[in-house]
Amino acid sequence: MTAESWPAPTHPVLPDRDPFYAPRPGFERLPEGTILRWRPVRLAAFGLIGLKAQAWQLLYRTTDLNGIPEASVTTVLAPAGGVGAGAPLLSFQCAIDAVSPRAFPSYALQRGSRAIGTFAHIEMLCFADALTRGWAISIPDHEGMLGAWGAPREPGYRALDGIRAALAFEPGGLDSTTQVGLWGYSGGGLATAWTAEMALTYAPELDIVGAVLGSPVGDLVSTFHRLNGTLHAGLPTLVVAGLRRVYPAFDELVATHFSDEGRAVLDKAARSTTAAAVLRLARYNVNRHATTPFAEVLAMEAMLAVFADLALGDKAPAMPLLVVQAVHDQIIAVADIDALVQRYRDNGAHVTYLRDRTSEHLTLLPLSTPLSLNWLSDRFAGVPATPSQTRTVRTVLSLPAGRHGFAALARAALRALFGRPLTASNALRGDGRHPRRRRRAA
């Protein structure tokens, strides 16, 4: 089956209504990561300001958490002038954190999209800096067409197969020897953790040199209990709406122990963007519409089996990890990330863990972006990662690797916001390494 070339869309269409996303019969027989079709695409900051970079969408063969073949899409970006020889690939997992296809990055990042309330637009201002370093980027729809927010394993399968597709995509200028780095924050950090865990067994041929997990949730069950009934209650409600799509036993429990009004709340949340759901469901408590106390539902045998399947940290990623977490995070408890890091280390993983005392959940992403990209740049350059360690710092900006490049990040964000070309900086080689200056390691 030859990959089809499609023209650029004239306007964005939601993925569940766009024929580009529907694979041809017989795709199931193809190897994972095979490109089924591709098209150029126009991206924009906040759907309005055209992003001056090369961009394509690739539909490729992948698999869900049960090993059943499916198709998914990744958005591949390159600097406006293309990638240079030896340029690396960054797989950036967005914080989709929603079930609606309106929040999928392949739709939300398109020019003209109507995706107010998705975080991909904010994240674009951060990953734009990777383009000015000369890197290519793969941004997978890691929740799949079901929007299964919170599901285990399959975000990793989709991200890894998206990487395979990006490396095989000839117009992108990469090849099978390209070095790869992983990065994601919050829900994207959770997806990145699954990608790192699945890589060794699912895609051992990929040269993944490091992974940055920014506030990677750590424990979905703990997060649900802590956020239920709070200002951020929309997030765990979205997880319930997503998980019932992939766990029949969970869906049956929801159908049995939720009122009609409660199921209507979940259905409406599944149609919302992340911010819209958080605003609408602030202080919502699932017990309001549960016919059985939800704590009792969560303690049922079928639910305990789901929770065991959701657990991160039982498998050590083969590549070094950088984990960044705010000590006073209002959404992700630092204790959950402490425990995840310990599980990784107990299983033999190499983890550099930075705990930031000043930031909170929303501010840590932009503040840790230079640190994250500089750490990955060192891995691309072959600089050995420092020994596993945990450091609690006043702010990541107090570290040389955290400060260096912050002005470049601001310039890249401004270029994106003002519609200027995102080309590789003269201060960087095509592979993203700094030729004249070496930073002290984080």
Residue 336 belongs to domain with CATH number: 3.40.50.1820
Position 295 scores a pLDDT of 79
Domain membership flag for residue 276:
yes
Whether residues 271 and 320 share a domain: the answer is no
Q: What token pair was written down for 357? A: 């005392």
- Boundary of a domain, candidates 255, 279, 310: 310
Q: Please tell me the distance from the alpha carbon of residue 191 to that of residue 197, in angstroms, as a whole number.
A: 10
Whether residues 266 and 381 share a domain: the answer is no
Phi then psi dihedrals of residue 86, to 5 deg: 80, 5
Q: Structural domain of residue 384, as residue ranges?
A: 4-99+112-148+177-219+311-417
Whether residues 210 and 62 share a domain: the answer is yes
Whether residues 305 and 363 share a domain: the answer is no
Among 101-105, 262-266, 301-305, name the one with the lowest average pLDDT: 301-305
Kindly report, residue by residue over 33-51, the tens digit of the pLDDT.
999 999 999 999 999 999 9
Position 428 scores a pLDDT of 45
Domain count, the chain: 2
Domain membership flag for residue 46:
yes
Whether residues 121 and 27 share a domain: the answer is yes
pLDDT at 149 over 90: yes
Domain membership flag for residue 188:
yes
Say what the pTM is.
Answer: 0.95
Domain membership flag for residue 154:
no
Are residues 315 and 340 in contact, defined by beta-carbon separation less than 8 angstroms?
Answer: no
Q: Percent of the chain having pLDDT more than 90?
A: 85
State in Å, rounded, how far the first CA of the chain is from the last one. Answer: 46
Question: Which pLDDT band holds residue 213 (cuts at 50, 70, 90)?
Answer: very high
Whether residues 133 and 15 share a domain: the answer is yes
Residue keyed to tokens 């599980």: 343
89-93 and 49-50: which strand pairing? Answer: unpaired
Position 2 scores a pLDDT of 83
- Boundary of a domain, candidates 248, 278, 310: 310
Kindly report, residue by residue over 307-334, the tens digit of the pLDDT.
899 999 999 999 999 999 999 999 999 9
Domain membership flag for residue 118:
yes
What CATH number has the domain bearing residue 292?
Answer: 1.10.260.130
Domain membership flag for residue 167:
no
Position 437 scores a pLDDT of 42
Whether residues 288 and 237 share a domain: the answer is yes
Are residues 371 and 334 in contact, defined by beta-carbon separation less than 8 angstroms?
Answer: no
Domain membership flag for residue 185:
yes
The DSSP code sequence of 47-78 is TTEE-BSEEEEEEEEEE-TTS-EEEEEEEEEE
Phi then psi dihedrals of residue 170, to 5 deg: -60, -45
Whether residues 69 and 198 share a domain: the answer is yes
Among 57-71, 218-232, 380-394, name the one with the lowest average pLDDT: 218-232
Whether residues 201 and 273 share a domain: the answer is no
Whether residues 66 and 129 share a domain: the answer is yes
pLDDT at 281 over 80: yes
Q: Percent of the chain having pLDDT more than 70?
A: 96
pLDDT at 432 over 70: no
Whether residues 196 and 92 share a domain: the answer is yes
Phi then psi dihedrals of residue 183, to 5 deg: -155, 140
- Boundary of a domain, candidates 289, 310, 331: 310
Query: Backbone dihedral region of 134: left (phi > 0), alpha (psi from -120 to 50 degrees) or beta?
Result: left
Question: Which pLDDT band holds residue 433 (cuts at 50, 70, 90)?
Answer: very low
Whether residues 127 and 44 share a domain: the answer is yes
Q: Please tell me the distance from the alpha carbon of residue 60 to that of residue 74, in angstroms, as a whole number.
A: 8
Residues in the chain: 442
Domain membership flag for residue 233:
yes
